Each structure stands twice: as structure tokens, then as C-alpha cells.
Amino acid sequence: MIRHSLLNYEYCEWQDDSSDEEEEIIYVHTGGVCLDDGTEKACAGVGVYWENKDYENIAEPYNGCQTTKAAELAAAIIALERYLENEKEGILVMTNSQYTVDCMIKHIDDWLKNDFVRSDGIKIENEKLIRELYRLTCESGAEFHVTKNGYDEEGGDEEESDNEDIGSGEENDKENDADGDNALGDQGQKVDDGQEHKLVDDQENKDDISVKEDGSTIADKLALEGALKRRLIVFGE
């Protein structure tokens, strides 16, 4: 049994008996939800859905900082940790969290250079989670895709993340993430380890990806299930 570092969650290790099969890209959908985000009754959950691997999907409470952003980062971390335990193939992380992808693609270089402190002296929120996701991204060679689908309990719009306030301060802690337009284009960006991590948005992959975007809805529903579990455990509701 493996005890998960973020969830205290146990599951049986999956045995890979497909060594003779042709290697393929692994598609994993990740989602994070926080009910009553920004309130004293906030309850977060994480969801991980494997599109084409026989892993156990995850729908669990998240026990860290009770915000949507933290849960979304944690879900991606959990997916890459699980991947690295067994796989040598490529992996594509699919999420409707523009925030998570922006952290890894647009902002990580500057944040590392400035020790996660903004020009106005405010510390970037979720530093520990972002650093860990960055480490796992470098180790796994993961790529990211922002999906347009996802489960939104409130039916609200997602926040804009294309600004320097993306990871800062108490005010942003209270905002809910939701999917925004793809502002990254199709160009990869170099990170400090010399690898290229990019948003996958080229025409060659679009047709294949488009049929998989419903997986993000599944991942978000798994995350919602996890948040409801936490609400039941903590508040008895």
C-alpha cells in the first residue's frame, strides 16, 4: 500500500503488465474544488481521472489550505506523483484551471528568480505547492492543456489569471478559479532546468484532445465529491 503525501490516502499499487504494448501519451484530468471558498466553512477536495490508464481515480478531501487554487495545484501534484511511481511514457495534464497552467508556464521563471516575492513586496500565495508541482513537472516532462469543460456548481465565471496578482495575498485567496480563455498560445517556454514545458494547443493534437475534454468534467465532479466528504467530516453536513 502507498500512503499519499498530500491526502493521507492509501491505495493498491497498480501493476503494469503492458510492457509489450506500444508506448502512448498518458492523459490525466485533474480538478480542485472548494465549497464556500473564502469563508470559515470552506471545504476543498481534489479529483484525478485517468483517461487511458487503469489507475484508481481519486476523489478525496484536501487537507491543506482550503481554497480552490490550492486544491487545483494539489490535484496536479497528486497526478504527477502517481505517474512517476510507474511510468516512463509521456504525460499530458488536462485541467480547466487556467491558474495552475499559468503558474507552470507563464510565471514560474520570474517567481523562482524573485524567491516568490512580487515587486510590491507581497509574497506569492501557494509557494510550497507551486514549487513542488514545478519539481514534478521537470522530473516527469509533463505538458499541460487547458480544457474548456469542467463542473461548475455555481455556474459562475472563472477569474482572470493573466495578471501579476495571480498568486498574491489574502484578497486572491478568496477568489474562485474558473476556466478562462487560453492566453498562452501554442509556444512553449523554457524553464530553469533547460526542459521545455508547454501548453499543448497545436493542430496535430487538437482533434485527439477535443474528444477527451469531458474528462475534466469527471475530474471536477470527483473533486466535488472529495469536498463534500470533507464537509461531512468537519461540519457533519
Could you report the per-residue pLDDT of 99-136, keeping only the tens digit for each? 999 999 999 999 999 999 999 999 999 999 999 999 99
CATH 3.40.50.880 fits 23-235, yes or no: no
Report the distance separating Cα 147 and Cα 79, nearest Å: 16
Rounded CA separation 63/45 (Å): 8
Encode pLDDT of 133-147 as tens digits.
999 999 999 999 999
pLDDT digits (tens, 9 = 90+) for 149-182: 654 544 333 444 434 455 554 444 433 333 323 2
Q: Which amino acid is at 32?
A: G
* Dihedral of alpha carbons 36, 37, 42, 46, sign: positive
**Model confidence, pTM:** 0.71
**Distance from C-alpha of 125 to C-alpha of 50, rounded to nearest angstrom:** 28
pLDDT at residue 52, as a whole number: 87
